[in-house]
Every structure is written in structure tokens, then in C-alpha cells.
């Protein structure tokens, strides 16, 4: 077994922000999380794409903190404004036990949500969980602002890559997510993920086994950005599986940004999905107009995804 991946946190370069802080000594960088594993929520989730949620649910593990700061974050309670009242501090062994619990409850996979800043703690936990009997695929469900070097270090531990492609425009990334080089970083990240996992593979029941599924959330009024994202994917590989998400609704700070303070129109979404087909992206998941509400979690509740 390789030495603990988490040793890398003594000069953190987990993500392209390269903060260089010693998280093992309790220091924090942009993501605001030290070397501890801060678990915000672990449970079965049925709102992912059908090959991920399947019939029995995806075993989601939400970490606190994030290496982006999106004005429209629907998980802001745990990504930006978390505290010790809504998180639990775990060791890698305890995180491995959570993974095994979710597998026991029937999860089709273990789905790490926003793991970019926890990539090495996650890797240590995966190794332990595999030794203790974890057999379902591991999903790396990230915002795409990942370190290619870190991804190479954990090669072989992740079965399914589920990244976003948010922007192909650095100015938009800066304005909406406080990141200056997202459009420069994402091409290399997606190439690495495709190289590691290949195209999405399903089993006979239509459940994802391995490979790459890329998500794109269409933002209101940002049609050219969405088209540029899809064009990049089509050039990378037109057989790539893409989930084109219509669920945007103004959350968190987006309510104070006039251009983000509305939902997407049907015409905007149709223009993007038509464009994807024009590009030859035929392996696309497309949502219905009523998707806005069904995906919104509330992390102040014990069951954040239960619609009451
Ligand atoms: S939307 Fe995702 S990437 Fe952006 S701040 Fe929230 S959790 Fe992080
Ligand atoms: S993971 Fe956090 S501390 Fe490390 S480089 Fe990224 S933002 Fe900085």
C-alpha cells in the first residue's frame, strides 16, 4: 500500500490554486479547510443522472468547503458557510466506514461530491475501504477545477469521473466563481480524466461502471459560454457523455447579481441542446423544464434532499 496520500497536504497543491499552506499543521488556504476530513452529509441520493442514481441510489459523500466560490452555489450552506455544527470531523478510516455503510444500504456507487480540495484524504479512505470490502465503483464528482498532477497521483482509485465544465471564458469564471483561470485549466483536466477512465461504460442494467460523464449547467444569458463548452467537448471526443443541466435557479449571492437573478428560459435551453446535437454530441442527458426545484438540497435538514 502506498504511503498516505494525505502527506501531500503539508504544502497544499491539491488544486490549481497552489496555496502551498501546511494543512496538516492546521493552516488553511482558499478552500478554508485544514487537513481534517470534514463530512457535511453522507446518504443515498436519487437525483443524479440515471446511470449514477440507478434504482437504489448513489452513495453521496459531501465534504465541507470548496475550492471555488460560485455566486449561485446551491450547496452554499456546506461549501461556503459551514461550521462545526453542520459537519463532522472524520479520520480516513471513519470515512471508509461511511463508504461501506452506503454500500451495505444498497448504493450503486460511492459518489464524492466536491472532492477537489479533499482529493488525498479521499484517496487514503478509498484504499482502506477497498481493503475492507468495498466493491462498488467510486465516483469523483468535481467542479472541474482540479490539479492534473493530483489526478495522476490517484490514478486507479477512481472508476467514474463526473466533472463539471463550467466556463470556457476566464472572465466569467472570475465574475461568478472567483477563479481566474478556469478556462485554462479545464481542458487538461478533462483530457486526463478521459485518459484514465475512457468513455462512460454501463452494465446490462444501465448503471455506470466506469468512464467519464461531463456535466454542464447552462447559466441564464450565457449562451456563448455554453456553446464554447460543448464545442470543446465535441472536439475532445464526440462520443463523450454529457449532461446538459437546465436546473439553474438563483441561489445564495446570485439573487444580488441582476443577470443571474432569473431562471433559464425554455428557448435558451433548447438552443443549447439543439447546438449539442448539431455538434454530434448524441450521448447527452437532457432535463425537463421543471427540474429547477427537484434538485435543491437544504443542508440545515437532517435529510437535505428530501422534498417536504
Ligand atoms: S457550485 Fe459547486 S463548485 Fe461552485 S461553490 Fe458550490 S460546491 Fe463549489
Ligand atoms: S485545496 Fe485548498 S489549500 Fe489546497 S491549493 Fe486548493 S484551495 Fe488551496
Domain layout of the chain by residue ranges: 5-294
Give the closest residue (by CA) to ligand 2 atom 2: 31
Residue 78 Cα: closest atom of ligand 1 = 7
Element (H, E) at 61: strand 58-63
Pocket test for ligand 2, best of 29, 119, 154 (most atoms within 8 A of CB): 29
60 Cα to the center of ligand 1, angstroms:
15
CB proximity list for 171: less than 8 A, separation 6 or greater: none
Distance, in Å, from the CA atom of 245 to the CA atom of 268, rounded to the nearest integer, reads 12
Residue 78 is predicted with a pLDDT of 84
User: Is 220 within 8 Å of 264 (Cβ atoms)?
Assistant: yes
The answer, yes or no, to whether any atom of ligand 1 lies below 6 A from the CB of 58, is no
Residue 303 buriedness (CB in 10 A; 0-12 / 13-18 / 19+): exposed
Residue 80 is predicted with a pLDDT of 87
Residue 1 is predicted with a pLDDT of 60
User: Is 63 within 8 Å of 118 (Cβ atoms)?
Assistant: yes
Query: Residues 150-173: pLDDT tens digits?
Result: 999 999 999 999 999 999 999 999
- Enumerate residue ranges in the chain where pLDDT < 70: 1-3, 289-308
Residue 297 is predicted with a pLDDT of 56
End-to-end CA distance of the chain: 45
Residue 158 is predicted with a pLDDT of 98
CA of 80, nearest ligand number: 1
- Using the structure block, give the residue that is written with the C-alpha cell 456507487: 109
Distance, in Å, from the CA atom of 37 to the CA atom of 57, rounded to the nearest integer, reads 24
* β-bridge pairing 37-45 and 58-63: antiparallel
Q: Whole-model pTM?
A: 0.94
Class for domain 5-294, per CATH?
A: alpha beta
Amino acid at each position: 500500500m502506498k504511503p498516505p496520500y494525505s502527506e501531500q497536504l503539508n504544502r497544499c497543491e491539491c488544486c490549481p490554486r497552489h496555496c502551498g499552506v501546511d494543512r496538516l499543521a492546521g493552516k488553511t488556504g482558499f478552500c478554508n479547510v485544514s487537513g481534517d476530513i470534514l463530512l457535511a452529509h453522507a446518504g443515498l441520493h436519487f437525483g443524479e443522472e440515471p446511470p449514477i442514481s440507478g434504482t437504489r441510489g448513489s452513495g453521496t459523500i459531501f465534504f465541507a468547503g470548496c475550492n471555488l466560490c460560485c455566486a449561485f452555489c446551491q450547496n452554499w450552506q456546506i461549501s461556503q458557510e459551514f461550521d462545526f455544527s453542520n459537519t463532522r470531523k472524520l479520520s480516513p478510516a471513519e470515512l471508509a466506514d461511511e463508504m461501506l455503510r452506503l454500500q451495505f444500504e444498497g448504493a450503486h456507487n460511492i459518489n464524492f461530491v466536491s472532492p477537489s480540495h479533499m482529493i488525498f484524504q479521499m484517496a487514503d479512505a478509498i484504499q482502506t475501504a477497498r481493503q475492507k470490502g468495498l466493491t462498488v465503483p467510486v465516483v469523483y464528482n468535481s467542479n472541474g477545477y482540479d490539479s492534473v498532477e493530483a489526478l495522476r497521483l490517484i490514478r486507479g482509485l477512481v472508476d467514474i469521473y463526473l466533472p463539471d465544465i463550467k466556463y470556457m471564458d476566464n472572465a466569467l469564471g472570475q465574475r461568478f466563481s472567483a477563479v481566474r483561470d478556469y478556462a485554462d485549466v479545464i481542458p487538461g483536466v478533462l483530457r486526463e480524466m478521459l485518459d484514465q477512465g475512457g468513455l462512460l461504460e454501463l452494465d446490462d442494467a444501465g448503471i455506470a461502471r466506469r468512464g467519464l460523464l461531463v456535466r454542464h449547467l447552462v447559466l441564464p444569458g450565457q449562451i456563448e459560454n455554453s456553446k464554447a463548452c460543448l464545442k470543446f467537448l465535441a472536439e475532445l471526443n464526440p462520443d463523450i457523455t454529457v449532461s446538459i443541466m437546465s436546473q439553474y435557479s438563483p441561489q445564495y449571492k446570485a439573487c444580488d447579481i441582476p443577470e443571474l437573478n432569473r431562471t433559464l428560459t425554455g428557448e435558451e435551453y433548447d438552443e443549447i441542446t439543439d447546438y449539442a446535437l448539431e455538434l454530434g454530441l448524441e450521448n447527452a442527458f437532457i432535463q425537463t423544464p421543471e427540474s429547477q426545484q427537484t434538485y435543491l438540497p437544504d443542508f440545515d435538514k437532517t435529510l437535505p434532499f428530501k422534498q417536504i
